[in-house]
Amino acid sequence: MNKFIVSAIAALACFVGATAASAQAVTPANTSFELSGTVQFDKVGFPTQVCVLTFASNSTGPDIGGNRANVGSLSTGTNTTVSGTLCPSLTVSASDFRITTILSSGVLMGGSIDHVVVNFGPVTLCDQTNVPFTIDNLGQVTLNTTIAAGTVPGICTVQGVLQSSNALVVGVN
């Protein structure tokens, strides 16, 4: 009976260890990175804008094992114009992010940005918590989401792909 209990505890310990080792994360941990790419911004009553959105000074969180992090922070996002003259006046507030889901092991993970506020100068166009994104094993972050209205009525839609610098990728061991 004691051998069975010891074996059961050992099996449970192995399962818990394996679960922690394959937890959703990005790598490397404790690393600065930039995100930049083309996004399309739509809002009823506001002309469609195609901009290069850049989050210039970001970081992944502390190591949860294997040089992986499941949280991090984003700086304020700024825009330059691709198509639409209003891009430089659009900003995205700084926020934290978290990796929440393994969508395809070692290939694609899902996450959320804690709080997204899109401003046009001093006016808040969109304001929402827990905005979803995906990141793949090439370090590409995809946004394809609707964001709730801010002080100006009407939802916002943001679509695009941002590339991470410093080889930020989904965390695998």
pLDDT per position as a tens digit, 102-143: 888 778 889 999 999 999 999 999 999 999 999 988 889 999
SS3 17: helix
AA letter at 107: V
What is the C-alpha to C-alpha distance for residues 93 and 100, in angstroms, rounded to an integer? 21
Q: Please say if the pLDDT value at position 5 is more than 50.
A: no
Of the pLDDT bands very low, low, confident and very high (cuts 50, 70, 90), residue 168 is confident
Residue 57, CA distances (Å) to 76, 110, 156 in order: 8, 21, 25
- Domains, in order of start, for the chain: 24-170 (2.40.128)
* pLDDT at res. 165: 85
Q: Say whether pLDDT at 34 is over 60.
A: yes
Nearest CA to 97 among 133, 66, 128, 124? Answer: 133
Neighbouring CB atoms inside 10 A of 11's CB total 10
Give the confidence band of 25 by pLDDT, cuts at 50, 70, 90.
Answer: confident
- At residue 172, the pLDDT reads 55
Of residues 69 and 172, which shows the higher confidence score?
69
Task: Give percent of the chain with pLDDT exceeding 90.
Answer: 62
Q: Count CA atoms within 13 Å of residue 42 on its CB side.
A: 9
pLDDT for 14 beyond 50: no
172: CB partners within 8 A, 6+ apart: 27, 105, 106, 137
Q: Helix, strand, or coil here: 88?
A: helix
